[in-house]
Every structure is written in structure tokens, then in C-alpha cells.
Amino acid sequence: MLQPLVVGLGRSGSGLHLNTLVRLARRTAASGDPLVALPAVGCDPRAGGLRPLGMSGEVTAVTTLEQALQRVDPATAVVHLCTPPRLRHDLLAELAGHGFRRMIVEKPLAASADELESLIRLRQEAGLDLVTVAHWTTSRLAGRLRRLVGGGRLGSLRRITVDQHKPRFLRSLATDGHPSALDVEIPHSLALALDLAGPAELLAARCWDLRCEDRGLPRLGGAHVELEHRSGVVTLLRSDLGAPVRQRSVVCEFEGGTATAHFPLSEDDDHAQLVIAPFDGGTAAPPAGVLDADDGDHAQLVVAPFDGGRALPSVGALDAGGVPGVGHHVFRDDALTDFLDGAYRGFASKAAGVGNFPLACATARLLCAAREHCTVTPRARAGSR
């Protein structure tokens, strides 16, 4: 078994990683195939002031790396680096110097092109097995989208539109870990778009300010990113961090219909939704579905043929290749738990970052290009989508 060391106990480290690791440890132990050794160790200078994490014996919080080294053996540990991206390289180098080799790094991988190249060199020189958090791409929902793209049932993929909207006033006002809205939600959708449609070039990017009463936070209100893939697919990524409702949807437009995927909105539920519908007379695609609640994480899938199009399987069914048929599918999709399960098993087999790291680098490079574009582009008006 491998023991987790979570460095950085903010929202990501304590609210997501530690909670998910405890859940994964319980699940695999109950199945007779234990994977995660507890207690997980959380390291943060603020750890003394944090509320208790997990149950007794499941999580230990320390304030320094030296204290963590007394409780964790680098030879059997997995480091979860959940600090802001601008602090990544030096911390990774320090951890590598202590003998840690297995690393899970929160998105985005790097905050600049220079830092990304430094991380690539460090990974090679220190022999790091490095994985970037990308649980959207490893989710069951993304798997069904990939099978639709590859199966040809709805024809060729033409366009991807991703909407990631949520009110993020409190965290943006209280912390300064993210320099712009490009670093909050966009990395998830960007990685998914590259996974579904292949390599891409940046067409345009813009950010706008987050405004609340008499305060304004530059470039933290939201972001748009437009891509053109070598495959011919065009992608639009939209994220509004001042939105009054939550939404995490991906619309894939094919020659013969659309697939609208709804990812879980929070850790309160673990189900996803996917709706695939026909065009209206072959000319207009239906609008993306909007979820305005915070209590659902099941997936749904409705697949419908284009008028006069190909015959599809019966309602709600998956064919022998796992491609979804016509109908409304609702299924469990605890993507982060499954992602960490796969990462830990990959570490055990010494192949954790084989497919993940190239995608993480491609995502980081496009994010860097988008940041550079935004520095020379006038900010859009607040609240713009």
C-alpha cells in the first residue's frame, strides 16, 4: 500500500484530496484489495488552525515538511501537491531532494511556459512519476463521449462547447492562489477538449473582472477560450465565476446530432448526465442544458438520431462496444475517487504518468498561450459570457 502526503490544505487539499483518499481507503479495504495506507498526512503551515480532518487514525495534520518526514516514508509515499501553481517547481524540487518520487499535482501543471519547461527537466532529472489531476478525462462520462466520437454513430465531431459556471466570490476575495479565471475551471475543460478532439492551437482568449459591491478583482470574473484542433473541430470554453447558478456541461456537436454531458456539480452526489439529441431539421442544435442546483452528481445520457440518420440502439442501452444508445442514461460517476484509484494503481505498476503527463503539458502550454493573449487583450466587461 501507498501512504498519501497532501501538501497544501486549502479547499483542494483538505476538501477534495483528503476526503477522497479516506473514502478510497475505506472502499478498497472493504473489497479486500487495500490500496491506500492510513493515516494520510496533511502538511500546511495553517494546519494547527484547521478543523479536524477525517476520523481518528485516518488523517494526521502537520505544519512543516520536517514533521511530515517523521510520519511518512518517501519510498512508500504519494505526494499530493495542492499548492497554487506559482509555488510548484521549488516545492517539487524540495520534495524530490527528500526522496519522494510519486507525485500527484493539482491543475494547472504550471503558471508559465518557463516554469513548465523547468518542471519537465526536473521530472526527467529526478526520475519523478508525475501525474496531474485530470479526473474529467478519466470519468465514465468522458469515456462515453470518447466512444461516441470514435464510434461514428452520430457522424464526425464538429464542435465542442464547454460551460463551467459557478459563483466564486468568497474564495476569490479570501485567497490569491489563482491569478485569473483561466486557472480555476478552464484546465479541466481544456484537457477534456484535447482528449476528445486532439491537438489544438489557440484562436482567442479573454478574461473579465469579478465585481462585488465596491470591490473588483482583475481577470477573476470569468474567461473564454477558443481553439481550433488539427482534426478540424472548433472548441469554445466558457467559465463565469460570477454566475448566479452552477453549471458543468459539455456539448459535442456531430454531423448527425449533439451530445450534452453534465458533470457532477459538487461532492454531494456522484452521478453525471449526458443528453444526446437530434438537430432541428438538420440546421440547428438544441441549447446546452443548464443545471442550477448544487445537489446532483449523477450522469444522464439521452441519445437521439439525426433526422434520416443512422439507426441507433434501443433507448437507454449501451452496445457491445459501450457506445450509448438512444435514451436518457443516469449513472454513478465518482470521477475523482476513480481517478485517484487509477493513479495509485499506476504508481504501483510504475506507469502512472505514461498517458497523463503529455496531456497535462499540452494543456499547460495552451493555458500559457491564453494567459499571454489576455495580457494584450482589453478585459471584457464584468459578467460577460
CA distance 7 to 68: 10
Report the phi/psi class of residue 59: left, alpha or beta, with left for phi > 0 and alpha for psi in -120 to 50. Answer: beta
Q: Where are the domains of the chain?
A: 3-132, 140-334
pLDDT in tens, 281-317: 443 333 333 333 334 445 444 444 444 444 444 445 5
Contact 72, 59 (CB under 8 A): no
Q: Report DSSP state, residue 124.
A: H
Local structure of residue 70 (DSSP, 8 states): T
Count Cα atoms within 13 angstroms, Cβ side, for 76. 12
- Given the candidates 3.30.9.10, 3.40.50.300, 3.30.360.10, 1.10.3720.10, the CATH classification of the domain at 140-334 is 3.30.360.10
* Per-residue confidence in pLDDT tens, the chain, 385 aa: 999 999 999 889 988 999 999 999 999 999 999 999 999 999 999 877 666 566 678 999 999 999 999 999 999 999 999 998 877 899 999 999 999 999 999 988 988 999 999 999 999 999 999 999 999 999 999 999 999 999 888 899 999 999 999 988 766 666 666 678 898 899 999 999 999 999 999 999 999 988 887 777 787 889 999 999 999 999 999 999 998 999 999 999 999 999 999 999 877 788 998 888 766 544 333 333 333 333 444 544 444 444 444 444 444 557 666 776 656 778 999 999 999 999 999 998 887 777 799 999 999 999 999 999 988 666 555 554 5
CA angle 107, 111, 112 (to 5 degrees): 140
pLDDT digits (tens, 9 = 90+) for 5-15: 999 998 899 88
Instruction: State the fold for domain 3-132.
Output: Rossmann fold (3.40.50)
Report the SS3 class of residue 320: coil
